[in-house]
Chains A and B, each alone.
Chain A
Amino acid sequence: MLVSLKWLDSMVKVPDGLQEFCDRLDLTGTGVEGVEKVGANLDGVKIGYVETCVDHPDSDHMHVCTVSFGDGEEPTQIVCGAPNIRAGIKVAVATIGSVLPGDFKIKKSKLRGVVSCGMICSERELNLSNDHEGIMVLPDDAPLGASFAEYRGLSDTVLDLEITPNRPDCLSMKGFAREVGAMYHVPWKYEPPVAVPGPQNDEHVEDFVSVEIADPERCPRYTARVIRNVKIGPSPDWLVERITALGARPINNVVDVTNYILFELGQPLHAFDLNAFSKQDDGKYHVLVKAAEDGTKFTTLDGVERELSSDVTMITDNGSNVALAGVMGGLDSEVTDATTDVLLESATFSTAHTSRTSRNLGLVSEASIRYERGVDASTCNEYSEIAAALIAAVSGGTVCQGVVDAYPLVPEPVELTLRPARLRAHIGADISDEEQFTILRDLGCEVKGASGDETVKVVAPTFRPDLIREIDLYEEVLRIYGMDRIEATLPGGAHAGGRTLDQQRIELISSTLRACGMNETMTYSLVAEDDLEKARIPEEGRGEAVELLNPMSSEQSVLRRSIIPGLLRSVAYNQSRGVANVQLFERGVVFGTAEGRKTPKERTLVAGVMTGSFNLPGWNQGAVEIDFFDAKGVVENLLRELATPKLRFKALEADEAPWLQPGRAAEVLSGGTVLGWIGEIHPLVAQEFDVEGAVAAFEFDMRALLSTAQEQRPYVDVPTLPGMEMDLALVVDEDVTCERIIQSIESAGRKGPFESVRLFDVYRDEKRVGAGKKSMAFRIAYRAGDRTLTSEEVEKAHDKIVAKVTKATGGEVRS
């Protein structure tokens, strides 16, 4: 909300020192979001005294003056052409450097050979009126040297304040003056801008208008007044100045008054053209407040036709809609230049209905902002009377006697119990009973009780709908007392905390992936509908896409079901910027749903992509192009850190993993639990995502990783006796896998002194090895725990293994 300090100052003393005032507002809960000085364009215009005034030697109408500003400096010489200039008067002087309205900059100049250092101003030059007959002659008591704008009250400071939703009372100048009074414990006052009641006629409003409220929940109070014989025209300057300072555009005198009262008192008003209503058989206008009919169309003041639901409350006249209650009036009944009689509505509407209507129609107005936070029903009539008097005063009309006041739901004052000692315990500060009472009284509460009472009763004012519980009073006392005065302490009790085992493992997963050269990233959870399809990832096992009801764009209309597409976009992002080596991983949530399901399923995945190479080619090491085995190496390290048991890599067929390049895809399992997959992204998927080159990737289910991880691996004695190693080069058919040979070696060696086996070379050569064949070289380690093996023993064991393995794999020992 905008607040004019000049206006505020008419109700409560605005503290000196703008910065301190703003800080104090911030600390007590009214955020200052902006400070704007209005009238600042008269900077440099000062009040001066004309010491001397002689005729210009070369002109018949100009004068050469010397002007002093009471600052002890030499008087300034100024040439002035006005007929009423003379010595011994006080004037407004635009000094050198000041900028007058119309972007007129004052410079040192020469007028017919005489130096002039400034300008003595007329009213028109300062945009105060059209008077250009002569310069402004100021009263003798005008303070010499002072800013003219300040002296004339032209300058104002407007604060842009953030009023929190619980404080509807602060959405008016009067309410805000009360708040400032409480903040500084100083008195404040409110006086209506004109005498109330204003000029009245002989007619009685009840002879014109009747009001009926169909549902008091929607409209607790509706008052109507009639002002007759108004003349629509512009508002007086003082009124325009005030409402424009607070951000309203002047429209006409009647509408401006409704805005004025809204700003000053927080009561939204609506002025209808009475003659737009239709008179009933009894000769009266009937206002009926009721629910709108579903599907009704209604054109609001802004010229937009809107479709309504029964949730909207309408002001109706003889069955036709005239206004959206609490939000905006209708186009057909607005006050126009031809209006002579005004029906003035001052009412309160339900916060919930106003809020929903405003949100449903996407229509926010000064009125709806106030109604959805709560407008005090008890002052509807009082404020309407002030408004009517003001309308009459500015439009020349007269007010009909009395008021039509439909008031079905009179609010009961809320009486709260306050335990001053508990307040102190809750806040942790020694705020005396009397200090608490003073703060509450300053805010408009009535305190029934005395210092030392265990409990006192506090009656909350009707303009504070947020004060309904004891805790609400604590908040008021604390914020006015000052949070800065509360001593900072730490909770006393002992309590243990820290990370759970799973949380530690999640950190371990991240740190291991980083240690493997992977860079952690984050991608958008919101993706396009065809995200999964584009990546050729089947929906199976991932659920249906979770759709947003209100997406911002089709590119971000559903929630992701895989992290891979997002990571591929990041690869493309890097490649398009010349970064060829990309290794990214993300741990994040994916979503899936099904018909009949309220909350979708959430699953945390860990996924990674890598392309290019891990390092740039260096002076002492080459760069190896990333392929499947880089991803596998990362995953092997990860699962080693997690001590995942019974690890298995199972080749995935093309139809099992269509997003991966056939023949370069594997499922990763721990026993029977599927942990995830590794593979190279299918070239067509890469192309779809504008990615170049081979991309190795993996995606793992976090839950599966955590549930299979083991706390520790079993300890194995470090060997103390020497072992022996023998090599075996085996020529096998291409389709014999490494895994199969190793399993065969392990199984053959089970009973002997076999210790471990490691593949160290794969060799293909059509001539030496044969077509469709490969030579695989293994190093087999032998060791016994209880003795040093003899070479005869090892050779015997080795021969046994070789025999079994060649038989099992159909391989031959390469000589």
Chain B
Amino acid sequence: MALMEDLEKLRDDMLSAISQAATSDALEEVRISVLGKKGSLTSVLRGMRDIPPEERPIIGKLSNEVRDRIEEALSQRAKQLKGAELEEKMKAGAIDISLPGRSMPIGTEHLINHIIRECSDIFAGIGYEIEGGREIETDWYNFTALNAPKDHPSRSMQDTFYIVDRSGDVSDVRGESDVLLRTQTSGTQVHVMEEKKPPIYMISPGKVYRHDVADPSHLPQFHQIEGLVVDKGITFGDLKGTLEYFIKAFFGEERKTRFRAHFFPFTEPSAEADVSCGICHGEGCRFCKHTGWVEILGCGMVDPNVFENVGIDPEVYTGFAFGVGVERLACLKYDVPDLRMLLEGDMRFLRQF
């Protein structure tokens, strides 16, 4: 039974060779040397035909066992070597993860539009629609329908840009016109009430214009967000609650709100709302002129004259309106030192937001 001994020797030699193979390639060589066409085990098995038939089952069983054993050892060793080689490869592939990434830089949103979107989201969340509006209005929408008829002193509160009226109409006041760049978004109140029936819950962000030379704290064009609610049973308390909700949502839960009586032609009673100063937390500092408060918006209950101008019965419906200066919100949130930066398009400014 020399063949059996041969087989056992072969097995032992091969197992030793397998365990000594240092690389996948060396292991492959071992595999070929034993299992390949000209491999040692193959040639042993080829010698089977010379074995007496009665011995064949025993030799056959043994040779199968040897082959299984070798194959198992090969596969185990292969796995070991692959793992080690992968480790090696990964080690060599380590990088400096502090190097900058590879991407196309994403663009940025303009600060003003960012704030408009943020405010719109807050009001959309409490069931408000968002309305557009024209930037050029007639006197009626910007003033008269808003209860500021001709010669009303409130008109001189706002420096208006007038447009050359190409229809041939002439204004009573020299240098004025029936057509103008809107000085406030409040005209959208009138448009919306003319077009829709109550209940109305809307905001209308947009650009407005004032006859001001651009300087660090003034721009001839800026943005407001108008708000209007018309429904049955709306109270001044609702106005307070809604704006307090907005202010907390925008500035943060810890901020306080106060309302000061004021005058606007299109609301009565009218108020201005202040938010507690975010820098000194109401203690008083230079930023808030030592008052602890910063003014952020004007508001009030819709004046019955405005309702009558658009055919809504003020005995049935009440409502409130408000107007927020977007640049003001931007300055309060980001401390922009010079408003003109908003219109210069300086990439170094724009890419901060």
Contact = CB atoms under 8 A, between A and B. Distances in A.
B208 to A, nearest CB: 11
A786 to B, nearest CB: 40
Interface stretch (A104-112, A163-171, A397-405): A163-171
Given A495-B201, A521-B110, A428 B238 contact: yes
A596 B168 contact: yes
Contacts of B336: none
Contacts of A358: 156
A569 B347 CA distance: 13
A517 B105 CA distance: 6
Contact of A584 (B104, B269, B304, B345): B345
B153 A373 contact: yes
A581 B347 contact: yes
A559 B164 CA distance: 11
B104 A520 contact: no
Interface string B166-194: 11110011111111010000000000000
Contacts of A588: 207
A547 B100 contact: no
A38 interface: no
Contacts of A499: 120, 124, 130
A359 to B, nearest CB: 6
Interface string B202-243: 100001010101000000110000000101111111101110
Contact of A615 (B105, B166, B244, B345): B105
Interface stretch (B33-41, B66-74, B260-268): B260-268
A549 B164 contact: yes
A73 interface: no
B131 to A, nearest CB: 9
B175 A549 contact: yes
Contacts of A503: 130
B345 A614 contact: no
B262 A164 contact: yes
A483 B172 contact: no
A356 B150 CA distance: 9
A513 interface: yes
Q: Which of under 10, 10 to 19, 20 to 34, or 35 or more describes the interface residues of B?
A: 35 or more
Interface string A491-509: 1111111111001000100
Contact of B231 (A164, A359, A493, A498): A493
A619 B350 contact: no
A546 B350 contact: no
A523 B269 CA distance: 37
B174 A478 contact: no
A285 B154 CA distance: 38
A490 B260 contact: no
Contacts of B244: 488
A515 interface: yes
A552 B172 CA distance: 22
A27 B345 contact: no
A421 to B, nearest CB: 13
A620 to B, nearest CB: 5
A427 to B, nearest CB: 5
A719 interface: no
B108 A489 contact: no
Contacts of A164: 262-263
Contacts of B333: none
Contacts of A520: 107-110, 113, 350
B344 interface: yes
B172 A490 contact: no
A479 B343 CA distance: 39
B237 A351 contact: no
Contacts of B79: none
B128 A497 contact: yes
Given A550-B211, A596-B166, A427 B237 contact: yes
Given A29-B263, A497-B128, A513 B268 contact: no
Given A427-B236, A493-B231, A598-B169, A519 B108 contact: yes
Given A427-B235, A549-B176, A516 B164 contact: no
A355 interface: yes
B28 interface: no
A526 B110 contact: no
Contact of A483 (B112, B213, B240): B240
B156 A359 contact: yes
A501 B321 CA distance: 25
B56 interface: no
B55 interface: no
Secondary structure at the B interface, as helix, strand, loop or mixed, is mixed
B261 A483 contact: yes
A28 B154 CA distance: 19
A595 B124 contact: no
B252 interface: no
Contacts of A549: 161-164, 175-177
A790 interface: no
Contacts of B221: 524-526
A186 interface: no
Interface residues of A, number: 107
B134 A602 contact: yes
B157 interface: yes
A487 B345 CA distance: 44
A474 B231 contact: no
B9 interface: no
B138 interface: yes
A597 B167 contact: yes
Contact of B343 (A497, A522, A602): A522
Contact of A525 (B104, B135, B304): B135
B250 interface: no
B236 A428 contact: yes
Interface string A466-497: 00010110110011000110111111111111
Interface in A559-592: 559, 567, 569-571, 573-574, 577, 579, 581-585, 588-589, 591
Given A29-B261, A519-B107, A519-B347, A591 B136 contact: yes
B135 A355 contact: no
| Highest count of chain B CB atoms <10 Å: which of A469, A478, A514, A584 | A478
B259 interface: yes
Nearest to B257: A488
B26 interface: no
A29 B134 contact: no
B346 interface: yes
Contact of A598 (B174, B178, B304): B178
B288 to A, nearest CB: 13
A523 B220 contact: no
A429 interface: yes
A598 B138 contact: yes
B107 A471 contact: no
Interface in B67-123: 99-100, 102, 104-110, 112-113, 117, 120, 123
A487 B347 CA distance: 46
A551 B262 CA distance: 31
B348 A579 contact: yes
A507 to B, nearest CB: 7
B287 interface: no
B58 to A, nearest CB: 51
29 contacts: A29-B262, A353-B151, A426-B301, A426-B318, A483-B236, A483-B269, A483-B271, A484-B259, A486-B240, A490-B242, A491-B231, A497-B123, A497-B127, A517-B104, A518-B107, A520-B108, A520-B110, A522-B343, A547-B163, A548-B181, A549-B164, A551-B161, A559-B136, A579-B347, A597-B167, A598-B169, A600-B136, A618-B100, A621-B102
Interface of B: 99-100, 102, 104-110, 112-113, 117, 120, 123-124, 126-130, 134-138, 150-154, 156-157, 161-169, 172-179, 181, 199, 201-202, 207, 209, 211, 213, 220-221, 229, 231-238, 240-242, 244-245, 258-263, 268-271, 301, 303-304, 318, 342-348, 350-351
Given A29-B262, A569-B345, 19 more contacts: A29-B261, A167-B263, A483-B261, A489-B241, A490-B238, A494-B127, A497-B124, A514-B106, A515-B107, A519-B351, A522-B110, A522-B342, A550-B162, A559-B181, A591-B136, A598-B167, A599-B134, A600-B136, A618-B102
